[in-house]
Amino acid sequence: MIEQTWWWPVAAVDEWPQQDAQPHAVHLLGQRLVLWRSESGQPSLFTDRCPHRGARLSLGRVRGETLQCPYHGWRFGTQGQCVSIPAQPGFSPPASSAACRHGLRAAHGLWWAGMGDPQHDLPVLDHLPSRRLIYGPFDVATSAPRAVENFLDTAHFAYVHEGWLGDEAHPEVPPNEVQHTADGRPLIERYRAWQPRASAAAQGGAWVEYRYEVLTPFSALLTKQDQGGGPQDSYVIWACPQTEGSCRLWFAQYTTDETTPAHELRDFQLAIFAQDQPILESQEPKALPISGGEAMSAADRLSAAYRRYLKACGIQFGVC
């Protein structure tokens, strides 16, 4: 499965803080996983299924440096090895009794899972403003690629975000050129839009210059600069494909706005996404058609490039 060559976001670091001793269940690529932290603080990621009778390990509890299954009390060490079968004292469990362990790392304020053998390193985010806010998780009943494509789509601003990011009197998408990075990721260097209310700090309408870049099959970066001297904001969508038709999203904002309180920045993003979500969940099919089947116009160049990129990557989960 080509998806196993990528790292995937599964939780924001704040959703599973250092002091949280409870196992934390997550869902990725149709599989249930469990994050757990040993008493000494070592974080691990296992398949959330006991190798004995398939019970959910996330219902168990941490005991010392082991995770204990809630059903018959088998205990697993941080590498997944089974170290104790209480019903059979003195027995050394064989390697075949191990829990399935996955790669785990923390970066960009999120926990990342490596399900197989990740070949692609995480995206590098440099030259971004240092103030970072992470919004989410948002659980959305559509595929992750539908959500990422929506993030790249500007033609919906005038309708879905009327009075905020768009103006129904100006629905046109100005000419723009899709380029590609050396490794084939689509980007638009410059896209100009009139926005009635571009950010939480906006005092009125402004011309805003956008830059879009697809980072990985299921993440993208946009940077918007208010031409009236307002803040520069960069947003990343991090999408976790939970099932073929559902995803968990986080949005990271990197902003030069040092003064607007975090709750106001958050409220603005929540209001924007609340406008997107019902539309996203209404789209049929939930999987993103990357082999034709949906009508395209010239205003959809970036969407088309994103679909071609997914196809070139060999992505199969959440697409059709």
Closer residue to Fe ion, CB minimum distance, 3 or 276: 276
∠ Cα 113 114 118 (to 5°): 145
Three-state secondary-structure class, residue 126: coil
Closer residue to ligand FES, CB minimum distance, 53 or 190: 53
Closer residue to ligand FES, CB minimum distance, 91 or 159: 91
CA–CA gap between residue 296 and residue 289 (Å, rounded)? 12
Express the helix, strand and coil content of the chain in percent, nearest 5 each.
20, 35, 45
CA–CA gap between residue 272 and residue 162 (Å, rounded)? 10
Figure out which of the listed residues 3, 48, 226, 276 binds Fe ion, where binding follows CB under 5 A.
276
* Least distance to Fe ion, CB of residue 306, Å: 15
Closer residue to ligand FES, CB minimum distance, 58 or 150: 58
Contact 320, 287 (CB under 8 A): yes
Residues that bind ligand FES (CB under 6 A): 50, 52-53, 55, 69, 71-72, 74
Q: With residue 187 as reference, give the H or E element that holds it.
A: strand 186-195
Contact 78, 71 (CB under 8 A): no
**Region from 210-218, 259-267, 271-279, 294-302 binding Fe ion, contact rule CB under 5 A:** 271-279
Q: Which does 276 bind (CB under 5 to 8 A by kind): ligand FES, Fe ion, none?
A: Fe ion
Residue with tokens 């299921």: 218
Binding mask 163-202 for Fe ion (x = CB under 5 A): ----------------------------------------
Residues in contact with Fe ion by CB under 5 A are 276
